[in-house]
């Protein structure tokens, strides 16, 4: 599964091929927000049954199993329609050619693997984590207006003061926004505890004996706030990355929002592109304000416990179309 994801979904070529879809979806988001300016279901969370996996009756007793089954049926109906449509297209293409269909889409790759026959299960959880990164980054920029102004100035100077579109191909010019996203990921990693590892043999690590087959969790949240590596570790300061060459790839162990090494999140490149494109559009096309007389410094930043850490209280802000000011 990891090999398929790496080669067929998250490679640089594949990520680039999905660019037009990302740009189209973000454009739809901007259009929806602009319209709204003039006029969710549970996917992950904390459950008591997670603490007592041996008590198999708990999910059914609490009703969580029924909720998951309902969500599965809804998702299946959407996926089935997409699969049936593509199968029909493939059938038409093969009948009008030499019988072979070029694998232009990831779905073609998965259909061919399924028809081999071999069994494959693929679970993609990037949507929720990307959404939370966007929400946390917007929260931090709204709480720190000087950061918002600086990021907006950069984006608007890069893509034009009047009109224009934010093009993904030019996002590399937004150095400050990149720093803002890094700082948001440092303080609010989407997965505070990285996926567990299991060591194959006993080891001695920093004075601790770790027996073989121990399930090990890496606390990325704490590492990203370690005062030994970060001055004013609890403060939101994108400028700290100005003179530090640190990327998302886990090469610097004091900053591991996506993990590191062979077990790093294979889709981090894809996720970062989605986050950066979305944020660039949001702050390019709109100014943002809090409702009523609420002041930025009073914005509640309490975290909510879950499989990924989100806000305890939903972010409520008002978009003001920029080019109509």
pLDDT tier at 154 (50, 70, 90 boundaries)? very high
Output 271 or 98, whichever has higher pLDDT: 271
d(CA 191, CA 206): 25
Please give the residue range of the domain that contains residue 171. Answer: 2-39+130-190+226-324
Residues in the chain: 325
d(CA 233, CA 1): 37
Q: Which of 42-46, 151-155, 172-176 is the least confident region?
A: 42-46
Output 294 or 126, whichever has higher pLDDT: 294
The answer on 237 and 110 residing in a single domain is: no
Residues 293, 298, 301, 304, CA torsion sign? negative
The answer on 293 and 252 residing in a single domain is: yes
pLDDT tier at 122 (50, 70, 90 boundaries)? very low
Q: Is residue 22 part of a domain?
A: yes
CATH of the domain at 265: 1.10.630.10
The answer on 96 and 141 residing in a single domain is: no
The answer on 254 and 184 residing in a single domain is: yes
d(CA 277, CA 23): 8
**At residue 162, does pLDDT exceed 60?**
no
The residue-averaged pLDDT of 206-219 equals 91
The total of structural domains in the chain comes to 2
Q: Is residue 81 part of a domain?
A: yes
The answer on 55 and 106 residing in a single domain is: yes
**Numbered residues of the known binding site for heme:** 265
**Numbered residues of the known binding site:** 265
d(CA 186, CA 141): 14
The answer on 259 and 176 residing in a single domain is: yes
Q: Is residue 205 part of a domain?
A: no
End-to-end Cα separation, the chain, in angstroms: 49
Domain boundary among 78, 94, 124: 124
Q: State residue 119's pLDDT score.
A: 39
User: Which residues make Cβ contacts (< 8 Å) with residue 6, sequence separation at least 6?
Assistant: 266
Domain boundary among 124, 154, 175: 124
Q: State residue 260's pLDDT score.
A: 85
- Token pair recorded at residue 316: 């409520």
d(CA 267, CA 275): 12
The answer on 176 and 62 residing in a single domain is: no
Q: Is residue 200 part of a domain?
A: no
Domain boundary among 86, 101, 124: 124
The answer on 174 and 64 residing in a single domain is: no
> Residue 235: which of 187, 167, 185 has the closest Cα?
187
Q: What 3-state class would DSSP assign to 235?
A: coil
**At residue 43, does pLDDT exceed 60?**
no
d(CA 317, CA 142): 9
Q: Is residue 63 part of a domain?
A: yes
The residue-averaged pLDDT of 281-307 equals 90
Q: State residue 65's pLDDT score.
A: 79
- Token pair recorded at residue 216: 């090990």
Q: Is residue 198 part of a domain?
A: no
Preceding peptide of 117 cis, ω within 30°: yes
Residue 148 near residue 282, CB atoms below 8 Å: no
Q: State residue 40's pLDDT score.
A: 42
Output the pTM of the full model. Answer: 0.67
């Amino acid at each position: 599964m990891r090999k398929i994801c790496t080669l067929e979904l998250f490679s640089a070529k594949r990520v680039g091929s999905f660019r037009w879809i990302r740009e189209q979806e973000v454009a739809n988001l901007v259009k929806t927000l602009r319209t709204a300016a003039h006029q969710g279901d549970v996917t992950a969370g904390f459950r008591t049954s997670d603490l007592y996996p041996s008590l198999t009756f708990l999910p059914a007793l609490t009703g969580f199993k029924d909720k998951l089954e309902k969500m599965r049926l809804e998702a299946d109906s959407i996926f089935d329609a997409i699969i049936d449509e593509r199968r029909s297209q493939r059938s038409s293409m093969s009948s009008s050619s030499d019988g072979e269909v070029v694998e232009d889409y990831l779905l073609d790759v998965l259909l061919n693997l399924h028809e081999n026959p071999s069994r494959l299960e693929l679970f993609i959880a990037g949507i929720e984590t990307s959404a939370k990164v966007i929400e946390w980054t917007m929260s931090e920029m709204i709480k720190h207006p000087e950061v918002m102004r600086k990021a907006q100035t950069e984006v608007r100077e890069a893509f034009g003061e009047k009109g224009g579109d934010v093009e993904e191909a030019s996002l590399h010019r937004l150095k400050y926004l990149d720093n803002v996203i890094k700082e948001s990921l440092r303080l609010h990693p989407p997965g505070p505890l990285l996926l567990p590892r299991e060591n194959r043999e006993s080891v001695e690590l920093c004075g601790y004996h770790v027996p073989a087959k121990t399930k090990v969790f890496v606390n990325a949240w704490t590492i990203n706030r370690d005062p030994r590596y970060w001055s004013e570790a609890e403060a939101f300061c994108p400028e700290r990355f100005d003179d530090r060459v640190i990327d998302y790839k886990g090469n610097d162990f004091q900053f591991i929002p996506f993990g590191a090494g062979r077990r790093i999140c294979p889709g981090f490149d894809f996720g970062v592109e989605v986050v950066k494109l979305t944020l660039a559009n949001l702050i390019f096309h709109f100014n943002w304000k809090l409702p009523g007389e609420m002041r930025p410094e009073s914005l509640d930043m309490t975290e909510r416990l879950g499989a990924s850490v989100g806000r305890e209280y939903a972010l409520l802000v008002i978009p003001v179309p920029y080019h109509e000011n």
